[in-house]
Structure 1
Amino acid sequence: MSRPVGETRWRAAGVNAALLALAALSLAPLAWMLSVSFMPRGEAAQFPPPLLPSAPTLDNYRELFARTGMARHFGNSLLLAVSITGLSLLVNTMAGYAFAKLRFRGRERLFQLLLAALVVPAQVAMLPLFLLMKQLGLVDSYWGVILPAMASVFGIFLVRQYARSIPDELIEAARIDGAGELRIFFRIVLPLLRPVLATLAVFTFMASWNDFMWPLIVLTGQEHYTLPVALASLSREHVMDVELMMAGAVVTVAPVLALFLLLQRHYLHGLLLGSVKG
């Protein structure tokens, strides 16, 4: 029995209102963080705390980049995030395609072993990974952060599930025409993987940009600090400078938020396709 049109509209309006309320509740801390970053020194410490700055100023951002060296830390985070994203896309895409379309002995067993690694907490692997980086002489270097992040089980799994939807006949036809495996991958397979590549790029960039624990462990010199690590160090020195800390938080959050909004359509498209294909 179908519901009346009026009841359906009221139900839809109620659902939309609830979603808008939840969205506003989620965005409220971010909006207040942005507002505090433009407040004069000490204004956020008032009680009750003001919602908007009485006299908006950019002094907090000027001090952040002029006195704390945040520009260098921003460059470190950008360098690491872009490098990890590019290398991770290449490695995960090739591995995912191999598990999806290439036939070799032990393929399924090896893939099952990789999936089993997902249940192992990342913190458990940090100690042996750090000792390995120390033996290789990569402690306090950018490569100590980049190399462990070049491949991920989740990325391989995501690409594999999507690559399984590529017709085998297309690949076999290219082989019959004499194309090598690398040419097939770069000229035929890679263009077909664009939606899932956008999804994986957003995931990887956000994870590497926001990563705190591993850079804190492997990067011992302050000149190599990333933004999250530098912000945590700054909070210990300027614990009472709420406005300065909020400015640092805005600088940390803004790039990943902008990237997500820019690639939102491709991200959701690739995520949904990856969940139903294969």
Structure 2
Amino acid sequence: MTTTAPPRAPEHTPVGAAPVAAPRRRRRRPGTALRYLVLVLMLVLLAGPLLWQLSLSLKGPADDLYQRPPQLIPSDPTLDNFTSVLQQIPVLTFVGNSFLVAALVIGGNIVLATTAGFALGRLRWRLRPVATGVFVAAMLVPLEAIIISQFLLVRSMGLTDTLFAVALPMLVTPLNVLLMRNAFLGIPTEMEEAAVIDGANAWQRFLRICVPQVKGVISVVAIFSFVGSWNDFLWPLIVLTSEDNYTLTVGLNYLRGTFYDDPRLIAAGTIIALIPIIVFFMALQRYFMRGLEQGGIKG
């Protein structure tokens, strides 16, 4: 004789409680896949040449540089290419010259661009719109159009073949001035008005009220200035004549000879020149991102 289990009483939902719905699977939108595809394409376009230069700098004599399809991972990896670069050219001298030029450019842009941006953004004077238009127009002028005039001006001042001549045209750039202007415009007016009531003059408002609010944008200006001065090649090539004053970008040109050209050494020199930029950006990355996101508004 078989026994049957008694029927199970149905579970009742408490009064006032909403019924529990079954979990639904999230459907991926077609736009999400498209965004990821665009990001991957941008990564390939931006990081692809850098990865290829790094791969080329690590390839040894047994690697075929011209095989099809190209091989990204070296089969005969070596660091001898970096050693050869250090032996063939005075890298430390060139790096020291580049750091000196970069220090002048960074200091000039931080001081001059910050003061000019404060004058354009916070002070009231008659020709302020005209001055702002001049800086905007200066951004549209290509370097090749004024480089001859720059060289004639530097030569008339007797500054040719000096590191100061390399840094002089980049001591302040229109882009950095406009960045600082927009940052100062984002500061609430009430803060400055309270300082005026307390008797603060323009310099006190600038140093104690406004500058602390735009530290993030100042770091952006410092990074832009460093990268621009460090990677500059055409202007140092024109104004410098002695090897002792060459910057790193000009000095790396010695790796390309008339009868001998090794792509491995050129790639290794490129990686050496890129390392200071990466280190400088990593040191200021937190302030750089904050400056791009927040601008001049704080709290």
TM-score, length basis structure 1: 0.87
Paired AA for residue 137 in structure 2: A
The one-letter amino acid paired with 1:37 is S
Where relative contact order (Cα < 8 A, 6+ residues apart) is larger, the structure is 1
The DSSP-based 3-state class of the residue aligned with 2:133 is helix
Give distance in 2, aligned partners of 1:275 and 1:177: 22
Contact 2:252–2:269 (8 Å) recurs in 1: yes
Match of 1:240 in 2: 261
* Structure 1 segment 87-98 matched on structure 2, within 5 A: 87-98=108-119
Tell me what 1:76 maps to. Answer: 97
Gaps of 5+ in 1: none
Residues 175-190 of structure 1 mapped to structure 2, 5 A cutoff: 175-190=196-211
Query: What corresponds to 1:168 in structure 2?
Result: 189
In the alignment, what sits opposite 1:260? 281
**1:5 Cα deviation after fit:** 7.2
Q: Distance in 2 between matches of 1:97 and 1:26?
A: 35
Q: 1:65 aligns to what? A: 86
> Which structure would you say has the larger Rg?
2
Q: Give the 4+ runs in structure 1 shifted more than 6 A.
A: none
Aligned pair 1:148/2:173, yes or no? no
Structure 2 CA distance for partners of 1:118 and 1:276, relative to 1, 3 Å: farther
Look up the SS of the partner of 1:139 in the other structure.
coil
Q: Contact 1:36 / 1:52 at 8 angstroms: preserved in 2?
A: no
Match of 1:131 in 2: 152
- TM-score, L = length of structure 2: 0.81
Structure 1 vs Structure 2: percent identity of aligned residues?
A: 35
Greater mean deviation of Cα atoms: 91-100 or 34-43: 34-43
CA distance in structure 2 between the partners assigned to 1:132 and 1:42 by the alignment: 51
2:243 matched residue in structure 1: 222
Contact 1:42 1:241 in 2 (8 A): no
Is residue 102 of structure 2 the alignment partner of residue 85 of structure 1? Answer: no
One-letter amino acid of the structure 2 residue matched with residue 216 of structure 1: L
Could you give the per-residue CA deviations for residues 192-243 of structure 1, whole angstroms, max 9, x where no partner exists? 0112112111211111111111111111212111122122332235743121
Question: Are residue 35 (structure 1) and residue 48 (structure 2) matched?
Answer: no
Gaps of 5+ in 2: 1-23
Q: Measure the CA separation in 2 of the matches of 1:133 and 1:21.
A: 44
Deviations 1:7-52 (Å, cap 9, x if unpaired)?
Answer: 4445424422442244134323211211221222463435345432
**Per-residue deviation at 1:121?**
1.8
Q: What CA RMSD, in Å, does the superposition of the two structures yield over aligned residues?
A: 2.6
Q: Which of residues 103, 112, 115 is equivalent to 2:136?
A: 115
> What whole-Å deviation, never above 9, does each CA across 1:86-125 have from its counterpart, x for those lacking one?
2211100000001111122322222222222222222111
In 2, the alpha carbon distance for the partners of 1:68 and 1:50 equals 29
Change (3 A) 1:7 1:14: farther
Q: C-alpha distance in 2, partners of 1:271/1:166?
A: 15
Counterpart of 1:36, as a letter, is L
Aligned in 2, Cα 1:88/1:52: closer, same or farther, shift over 3 Å? Answer: same
TM-superposed CA distance for 1:272, in Å, is 4.1
The aligned length equals 274
